[in-house]
Structure 1
Amino acid sequence: MYNPHWLRSFQALTETGSFTRTAEQLGITQAAVSQHIRHLENQLGPLLVRKTRLLDLTPAGKALLEYCQELDRASRRLNLRLTEGESDKGEVSIITPGSIGLMIFPHLLALQSASPELVMRHRFAPDGEVLEAIVQNRYEIGVMSTRPDDSRVQATRFTEEPLELVVPDGHKGYDWDGLMTLGFIDHPDGQSMAMRLLSRRFPGHSGLHQLPVSGFSNQVGLILEFVARGLGFTVIPRYARQAFAQQQAIRVLDCGVRVVDTLWLIQRAEWPLSRRARRVVDELHRLLAGQQPM
């Protein structure tokens, strides 16, 4: 077992990249940080390659960092287990795609405000990262837009979310040529979403593979800023559109057909959710049941 103070200094040093900033962060002297690293290197060999203004990890350093991260996860799991019988106290960790995350986040904050001893830890992530985080026990609850094929997780239907074709309010000419003149606001899932919806709205159109892009953002909360300013149109999940503050500046174009994704709630299969996580899930189900189509 390595001295926890040494490990804390090493992990902080890998995050800050600076002995000075590490000392300031931990409230100790720079000499103490150097001494802690030296003690670890006496036992494990060189951990760091010191370059001008840069610190690189050796293979031993990378292994030690993984060890520190495993200790952090084990400590978090222990804290969860010690408080798992409480419904209004302890951490609730949830990882979701951006659209549903934007919709539920204010309600997670409301739950924490009602029960201040709850600690909400929420992360936005694509499906692959959501699955990995649940499998590795970094988060207790996950939401995915595809059902995972992994025996280590349990998946249940959470909600459905249609794709929407969103245009600037007041823009004229919403036929194919009008949209192409306006241009597409792309995002990481934009091309695939646009292909799925526009192929229904404009079947057989030869230009579906060549959408003219007039903007791009990888932040789901910013995609519609382009549209609101009249800079293009986009295809986006409904919850992301509903979370946008400037509803008066955009309009959902009726496509005559629906393309709907099922969202899946996932957790580790081997054990049940803690009472506080179950409470959050139940509250979210009630919230989604009350959502009216717009």
Structure 2
Amino acid sequence: MFNALYFRTFITLVETGSFTRTAQRLEMTQPGVSQHVRKLEQYLGKSLLDRRGRRFSLTEAGRRAYDYGLRLFAEHEQFRHSLDDEALDTGECRIASPGSVGLMFYPYILGQQQMYPGLTVSYNFAFSQEIVADVLAGRHDLGIITEPVRHAELDCTLWHQEPLCLVVPADFAGTSLAELMGIGFINYSDGVNHAGALLRSNYPGEFRSMSQFRRQGFTNEVAMVLDAVARGLGFTVVSRLVLETSPWQRQVKELDLAVAEHEALHLVTRSGTRVPRRYARLLDGFRDQRLRERFGHAEAVTPL
């Protein structure tokens, strides 16, 4: 039967290159080391060592068993640390968000993983409806959505707000609603809602609804919508996160508007579930960074 102790003995033997040193390191007898290796070979049904007196080399099966053993114990340690909900820099985080957030949040998380190798993150890009369903099903521990949701089995709280930007082609010289109507609107999944909110606040005497605007196209990938704007095909309204991460930001420009509107980002988790502290550090760290970039100073963050 499977015995992780046999793998531990075999790994130590490979690393020391000596049955005697392995026995000393593991506080075993030398015959005990030999027995563990034989038991592992019997379990796997393969010879792991080419023995030449007191010396040995690894067979192909031995090399594969050594690599597997290293992964086995690394995953074991990672799993053990993941059970500690108080740990800030170890364990797994399972997060989902729309692309508008993930375009910047996911690279931020990757930077945290580089600093804290014990931290692993499974990140999924999806629409808000999919995220809610996946959190309910237990496929994600935490979701970030753009519209609040009410559900008996979910907790939903406001997390962060990003400014909305009215983005036009770089050579667009207009400022009026009529001029925007002239070039048309590029839509995406949240485009109509975002554009309606921003235009209603800034053109209250003229704006009626988004049906006033000629639709110049649609994409379900928010990261690509500014490509169409850069080509002069119309305007759109996106979160500043999208504009700042876009490869087309030099081919477009943001119109200055008097009244600011924001995309509200909400956190959704299963009701009664205590999210480990490592999630809070990622979320608070990213939000704090965004506030510093916007205002030049950090706002207060709830202590972890």
Measured against the shorter chain, the TM-score band is 0.5 to 0.7
Task: Tell me the equivalent position of 2:291.
Answer: 289
User: 1:114 corresponds to which letter in structure 2?
Assistant: M
Percent identity of the aligned residues?
A: 31
**Residues 4-43 of structure 1: matches in 2 within 5 Å?**
none
Residue in 2 aligned with 1:235? 237
CA contact (8 A) 1:97 1:127 kept: yes
1:186 aligns with 2:187: yes
> Structure 2: which 5+ residue stretches go unaligned?
1-78, 297-304
| C-alpha displacement of 1:293 | 6.0
Distance of 2:80 and 2:153 partners within structure 1: 22
1:183 and 1:80 mapped to 2: Cα distance? 53
**Residue 216 (1) aligns with residue 218 (2):** yes
Question: How far apart, in 1, do the equivalents of 2:207 and 2:291 lie?
Answer: 37
Residue in 2 that maps onto 1:274: 276
* 1:93 maps onto 2:91 in alignment: no
Alignment correspondent of 2:162: 161
Q: 1:292 to 1:253 in 2, by over 3 A?
A: same
Q: CA deviation at 1:207?
A: 7.0
C-alpha distance in 2 between matches for 1:278 and 1:144: 16
Note closer, same or farther for the CA distance 1:128–1:253 as it changes in structure 2 (3 Å cut).
same
Offset at residue 248 of structure 1 (A): 2.2
Q: CA deviation at 1:84?
A: 4.1
CA distance in 1, matches of 2:80, 2:231: 47
1:244 match: 246
Deviation, 1:173, is: 2.2
User: Aligned to 2:222, what secondary structure does the other structure show?
Assistant: coil
Mean Cα displacement is larger for which, 106-115 or 266-275? 266-275
What TM-score comes out, normalization by structure 1 length?
A: 0.66
The alpha-carbon deviation at position 117 of structure 1 amounts to 3.1
Could you say if the C-alpha distance between residues 293 and 126 of structure 1 is closer, same or farther in structure 2, counting changes exceeding 3 Å?
farther
How far apart, in 2, do the equivalents of 1:223 and 1:94 lie?
24
CA offsets 1:76-118 (integer angstroms, 9 cap, x no match)? xx98964545433332111112212212111011011112332
Distance in 1 between the 2:291 and 2:182 partners?
39
Whole-angstrom distance in 1 between the partners of 2:135 and 2:80: 17
Corresponding residue for residue 111 of structure 1: 112
Name the amino acid aligned to 2:195: A
Aligned length: 217
The within-5 A match list for 1:47-62 is none
Cα drift, residue 223 of structure 1: 0.5
Shift of 1:210: 3.3
Q: CA RMSD in A?
A: 2.5
Cα distance in 2, alignment partners of residues 148 and 79 from structure 1: 34
Is 1:167–1:234's contact at 8 Å kept on the other side of the alignment?
yes
Distance in 2 separating the partners of 1:255 and 1:278: 34
